[in-house]
Chain A
């Protein structure tokens, strides 16, 4: 039986890590909500963010966490032509065409990463990324606390953007009924393009955090994509605070799963939860409000 310190540390670590996962999943959630698109390149965009952070550090010597807005803008800018030239022309051909397009983009980008960066495992080396933060018997990685704080701040900012701005109103209208929104003068295509860029930026920022906290390689994105899908289902589609809560619940359950069944069984807990919610509460376990 693990002692109090081990259990408490696992619970807190799970909640903090879940917050970071919530930010990553939020990008997937808003794109799914507005464009009806499961962005299969979301995990690859996360890896792109991690490489962007790594090379930003190598080339400038500055901490990539201090340059998160810049990196987010850069990654969002890369998403704009993808939407304009690949997704927008397929908008009237059903969700499958866009889904398959993004699947192809994911494969191309993953292979491009192998070609350009090699398939080696990388990590963004920062001294604070390997420091423990101890409070009595409880120890959590300092980077989890930093990552959680950044994730919560960004999630609240996106919540504010969606709930209290004109763009947010257009986004909510486009998500609820794109045809009706268009008849009321909303430029739905522009909203979709900016939403796609925002979702990509969430993945990119999450990638920088993951790159600092953990390790990554061109093929690392798949696991984060699947986790994000589980969080979206758990938190409710388009529910911004719900996505944060969903991430934290998944992180907590994965930690408890790791503690009781072993670290190798963390993902099973997440996927089991994903299936249970899909079967018994398909609108999302925490779905109270929609964007």
Chain B
């Protein structure tokens, strides 16, 4: 029995272990940039798109002959490490990229927990990092940044979108609202503060406000409570695995609200692929679509789909633009000196695939928000009217 207990204890210890990945060092005559991305774990659905966006931008620059440094053209090498959706790994990956791989600048990970963890390490090392995928107010709440730059949406823009969309659509609900959010930084910002505040402003009654860990898999109690309280509108902030679990468990619990909006988790196409018809009618805020009137928008999605045979995601756009901004800055600086690159990023004033980018004093550039809805395995823009590509499916099937 003692042996068994020893085995059991060792088992639990090993079960908590983690895996690190390593990659080769850079050559002397190339410009090395790095990124730590969630290529596995709950955020892998975002990471794979970001990886493509970053690589695509770097490939385009290299195909055009590289970037001139001190008058000599050099190729760009992008080193990507998997952070397994673990902020501690993002920080250690960033440290490794800076100290061992000698990157001259960084590109960000995804979601505030990961992006901020990497950005803090880069900031300490005084190396520039350009990122998307980090809501602006959460990004700026961390510190006054000197070397980190963020292009993404404004949190209030995203959180108010479902209310504005429902008002514009003129649909009728009982105005009873259930809010379910994870305990990550953006989940708490949306779920605890912004959604309740906007609910009050738009005349909704919050009948439930439930918080859960980021990787939670069981939601039966939360769903039962919302069902018992008769909420017609459910707003959720969760990453993709729990988002899939929530939608599936809502159906198996027999709960059919009229409106279901799932931020973050309903963005990647794997959400719809995992759920099939159950994804129909689910709303999610978006900041990019191939139909947007910016140069290269339609082509970017086309390139992605031709290359990967997968449906594109908005995450290819902010990652592609972030990489382009960094590469443009390195070209403008004509140097791999961190401070010169950083100064060039600050001067960015150009229209990219996500729209015009000019950084504010707090190192942020805002992307506009639209409301999208899954319909037949694809997202259509349902708000605002000027950008709409389809009609709102109401009530949710």
Interface residues in chain A, defined as those with a beta carbon under 8 Å from any beta carbon in chain B = 2-3, 5-6, 9-10, 13, 32, 36-38, 40, 95-96, 99-100, 103, 107, 111, 114, 118-123, 125, 129-132, 134, 139, 141-144, 213-215, 217-220, 222-223, 225-226, 229, 233, 237, 254-255, 258-259, 262-264, 266, 278, 282-283
A254 touches B218 (CB 8 A): yes
Find A223's partner among B19, B48, B217, B252 (CB 8 Å cutoff). B217
Contact with A along B239-258 (1 / 0, CB 8 A): 01100110011011110000
Q: A120-B44, A134-B254 are in contact. Are A36 and B7 (CB under 8 A)?
A: yes
Chain B: number of interface residues, binned into ranges: 35 or more
Contact B219 A263 (CB under 8 A): yes
Complex CA–CA separation, A215 to B42 (angstroms)? 11
Residue in B closest to A261 when the chains form the complex, CB atoms: B221
Pick the interface stretch among B136-144, B273-281, B385-393. B273-281
Q: Interface readout for B175-213 with A: 1 if CB under 8 Å, 0 if not?
A: 000000001000000000000000000000000001111
Q: Tell me whether B218 and A258 are in contact (CB under 8 A).
A: yes
A103 pairs with B14, CB closer than 8 A: yes
Contacts of A9 in B (CB 8 A): 220, 224, 253
Contact indicator A130/B278 (Cβ below 8 Å): yes
30 contacts between A and B (CB under 8 A): A2-B224, A2-B225, A9-B220, A32-B7, A38-B11, A95-B3, A107-B19, A118-B44, A119-B39, A119-B40, A119-B44, A121-B244, A122-B270, A123-B275, A130-B251, A130-B278, A139-B253, A142-B252, A214-B245, A214-B248, A215-B245, A217-B241, A223-B217, A237-B4, A262-B210, A262-B222, A264-B183, A266-B218, A282-B1, A283-B1
The binding surface of chain A is classed by DSSP as helix
Chain A residues, Cβ within 8 Å of B240:
121
Establish whether residues B274 and A123, one from each chain, have CB atoms under 8 Å apart when the complex forms: yes
- In the complex, which of the residues B3, B217, B252, B278 contacts A141, with contact meaning CB atoms closer than 8 Å? B252
Q: Among the listed B5, B15, B45, which residue makes an inter-chain contact with A226, where contact means beta carbons less than 8 Å apart?
A: B15
* In the bound complex, CA of A10 to CA of B228 (Å): 13
- Chain B residues proximal to chain A, CB less than 8 Å: 1, 3-8, 10-12, 14-15, 17, 19, 39-42, 44-45, 47-48, 84, 183, 210-213, 215-222, 224-225, 228, 240-241, 244-245, 248-249, 251-254, 268, 270-271, 273-276, 278
Known pairs A130-B248, A132-B253. 15 more at Cβ < 8 A? A36-B7, A96-B7, A99-B7, A103-B17, A118-B48, A120-B48, A120-B268, A121-B241, A132-B254, A139-B224, A219-B84, A222-B15, A229-B12, A262-B222, A278-B8
